[in-house]
Amino acid sequence: MEEKKGLEIKKEQETLPTTSTESDSRNMGIWGDKENFVNAQRMAQALASGTMVPKDYQGNIGNCLIALDMADRLKMSPFAVMQSLYLVNGRPSWSAQFITTVINKSGRFRRPLSFEVTGKGKDLACIAWTEDLEGNKIESIEITIKMAEDEGWINKNGSKWKTMPEQMIRYRAASFFGKLHCPDLIMGVYAEDEVKSFTEPSGKTNDKVPNPFAKTPPDAVVEVVDTEYTEAKQEDIFKAYGED
């Protein structure tokens, strides 16, 4: 009888509804509680010590933590995220190929992202499109060469728009599609070419362009992990988040 009663109690505990605190902790990923953060910090240390990760992450535990957080949110390999998340003049940016991959693997659309390209030369234009799960066609805004000229994308130093316009116009259409229809997937991070396009020739960031990390939410604070981790620093971090 006692054994049966014990099994019933255990079953009841397993079926108890998740509390709001537990749900919030999971939603915040590696920033949800101390245990998650400590485990992620250990993984970041391991990744930062590797030589196969991109240079922006070698020896930089803070950058590795951010990559781990994004990988957790996207349910992707941290290594895949690191290979596709670049720092351009201090701004995080996705590769355009990665944005397309994330959209295609999201499960939100019936078919892979396609591109409708029309015209040639200065009349070149492109729309990225796909279908939702109900079969409705969903499109990006139309990207044109005139838009690229007016926005100054073509004349930036190192720009590929002059030599690879059909490729670049597809990349930009994919990025605009992501920001319009599934911004949560790219988490407010610009495509690499976009970041380059609104960076001044001197290397200084154009203040007229909004920085997606200008007001960083508590669950994505970058600066708190830029230095070597200590137990004292961990306590300061969680005090700032209101943790006990």
Give the model's confidence band at 163: pLDDT under 50 very low, under 70 low, under 90 confident, else very high: very high
**Number of structural domains found in the chain:** 2
Chain segment 12-57, per-residue pLDDT in tens: 555 555 544 455 555 567 887 889 899 999 999 999 999 999 998 9
Chain segment 204-213, per-residue pLDDT in tens: 444 444 343 3
CB-CB contact of 215 with 114 (8 Å): no
Do 107 and 39 sit in the same domain of this protein?
Answer: no
DSSP state of 120: -
| 117, containing H or E segment | strand 114-118
Do 20 and 104 sit in the same domain of this protein?
Answer: no
**Which structure tokens are listed for 86?**
């670049």
| 235 falls within a domain | no
Q: Which residue has tokens 């993984």?
A: 43
| 243 falls within a domain | no
| 227 falls within a domain | no
Residue 164's SS3 state is coil
User: Domain limits at 180?
Assistant: 89-213
Alpha-carbon dihedral of residues 4, 9, 11, 12, nearest 10 degrees? 140
Do 71 and 104 sit in the same domain of this protein?
Answer: no
Rounded CA-CA distance 19/24 in Å is: 9
| 207 falls within a domain | yes
| 234 falls within a domain | no
Do 79 and 15 sit in the same domain of this protein?
Answer: yes
Do 82 and 123 sit in the same domain of this protein?
Answer: no
| 159 falls within a domain | yes
Last residue of a domain, one of 41, 60, 86: 86
Residues 6+ apart with CB under 8 A from 187: 70, 73
Do 80 and 98 sit in the same domain of this protein?
Answer: no
**Which structure tokens are listed for 115?**
């591109």
Mean pLDDT of the chain: 75
Rounded CA-CA distance 62/206 in Å is: 25
Least confidently predicted of 30-34, 38-42, 88-92, 120-124: 88-92
| 218 falls within a domain | no
| 231 falls within a domain | no
Do 123 and 194 sit in the same domain of this protein?
Answer: yes
Do 5 and 65 sit in the same domain of this protein?
Answer: yes
pLDDT of the residue at 3: 57
